[in-house]
Amino acid sequence: MSETYEEAVGGTRTGAVEAIHIAPDTGGEPAARDAVEAVADRGLKGDRYFHGKGIYNEQDDLDPSDVTLIEAEALAAAAAEYDVHLENGAHRRNITTRGVALNHLVGTRFRVGEAVFEGTGLCEPCGYMESLADQPDAADALVHRGGLDARIVESGTVTVGDEVRW
């Protein structure tokens, strides 16, 4: 039997932003930010997807995604179970959260700081991320916990430490 969302997050409906990363170009080094402007139907200002330069901008068969999120807990599990250490944005996701069961937010609207997002699908890991991170087994370590693709529904500022509320 699968657990309910409330069981997955310990009954709470809030979490927090732990880190923010943007990369200006495909394959570019992700840079940490304390805050970023999330622009509706566009992406995070300064990120490759905001500028239409992301590798997935070129694929028509994918759900729309302006931003990607990953759980800090998933990164800790990858380290513990696979000895895969993806730090400082090497996971290629924009926002790292804590206390949020992201897989349960597919099809759900949620607030991150001042912005409103909607989960569009799971962000499964790929070999490209694994090669850029130079971490063998990174893709395997993050299967079904690689994060969430999301669309930005309402613009606003997202800051490290902000509440994630659904």
Residue 127 has what pLDDT? 64
According to DSSP, residue 103 is labeled G
Full 3-state SS string of 24-54:
CCCCCCCEEECEEEEECCCEECCCCCCCCCC
Domain 14-165 in this protein, CATH class: mainly beta
pLDDT, tens only, 1-25: 455 545 555 666 899 999 999 988 7
Q: Which residue has the higher pLDDT, 62 or 134?
A: 134
Residue 58 has what pLDDT? 47
pLDDT, tens only, 78-125: 989 998 888 778 788 899 999 999 999 999 999 999 999 999 999 887
Rounded Cα gap, residues 57 and 59, in angstroms: 6
Section 124-145 average pLDDT: 75
Domain ranges of the chain: 14-165
